Each structure stands twice: as C-alpha cells, then as structure tokens.
Amino acid sequence: MGGFGRVTTVEAASLLAVGLVALALAVRGFGWLEHFPARSYQFLTSADAKTGTVIRLPVLDVFGRKVLATKPHLLVLLGSCDGCALTSFDPDKLSAPGFEVILVGQSAESDLRKAFKQANPRYKVVADPEEELASQLNLCFQPRCYVVTQGRLVWQALRPNAYPAGVTYDGKNTSE
C-alpha cells in the first residue's frame, strides 16, 4: 500500500538504496565526478575566480620557508583531508619546470607539517585552515591546480587531473 499508509518492502528498499547512494556520494565528495566529461564541470566552475584576480599568499610556508615570487606559482589545492590529500596527490610525481610549486591544505599548520614532513623540499606547503584561498579560488574538486604570476591568477584547471602546458603528473599532461 503506497501513499501515506504503510510502506511496502519494495518502497523501503528503494528509499534505502537512494539514501545509501546519497551517503556514498557525500562521503566520497566530488571524486566521482572525474569520470564525467569536461562539460559536466561547467556548473561547478561557474563560480571560479576571474583571470587577473589578486591572490594573496603567506610570506612563509608551514616549515618557515619563504614563498618567493620570482617564478610563477603553481598552486595545488589539496582539500581538507590531509590523509586523503596524501593518497590522492603525490607531489614527487609532479614535474613543473619554471614554477614554484605550492601545496595548499585546508588543515592546521601542525597537521600539514606532520603530513608533509617527508615531502620534497622544493615544494612549499601552505596552510589554509579558514579556507580563504579555497573559497576565493572555488575549490570545487581536488586536487585542483592554479597558476599565479606576480600575485594574479592567470590559469586554473577546469577539470580534475588537468595541468598547465609544460607540467606533467606521473609523466602525463592533460592540459586544457
């Protein structure tokens, strides 16, 4: 009997299945989107920062190293889960000649120091615990890359696993 009376076993099973799918998507975040074509991201990237937006980075990273502006910055925003960030993105697989690579995590500095203590020293690690950069740059999937030159945004990935020309991850470039 449907409607507002008793719920049948089939209806209950259907509701449970829908709920479990919704829960699975919520727990996995937007990672499931990487299987969709690039045009699927248009609704996510519609809130992106505009080219030329001023991006303010801290003077020092979590290890006390200067964040220099002598080269363009390749920002890699990793998201809020340090464990997940470490398993989803390996900075040692990144080749970015001509860029200063800055890994940005949305966790406390102490957590990022612990998580990246073995990271290659050529990468800077910046904390964004209040998610100011993540909000300004519209971190709608992770990791997501951005290029900042002279303090201004000049490029941003429009889909996961996309990098600017000349940058490779695990020997591949999926530039846009």
pTM of the model: 0.72
Half-sphere exposure of 71 (CA within 13 A, CB side): 12
Q: Which residue has the tokens 């519209």?
A: 138
Instruction: Check whether 17 has a pLDDT greater than 80.
Output: no
Residue 143 near residue 74 (C-beta atoms within 8 A): no
For residue range 102-143, what is the model confidence (pLDDT) as tens digits?
999 888 899 888 888 877 677 899 999 998 998 899 888 888
pLDDT at 8: 66
Distance, in Å, from the CA atom of 142 to the CA atom of 80, rounded to the nearest integer, reads 9
Q: Which domains does the chain have, with CATH numbers?
A: 9-35 (no CATH), 45-169 (3.40.30.10)
Residue 62, classified by CB atoms within 10 Å of its CB into exposed (0-12), middle (13-18) or buried (19+), is buried
Whether residue 11 is predicted with pLDDT greater than 50 in this model: the reply is yes
Write the pLDDT tens digit of every residue in 46-103: 788 899 999 999 999 999 999 887 889 999 998 876 556 656 778 888 899 999 999 9
Confidence at 26, pLDDT banded by 50, 70, 90: very low
Q: Write the pLDDT tens digit of every residue in 142-155.
A: 888 999 999 999 99
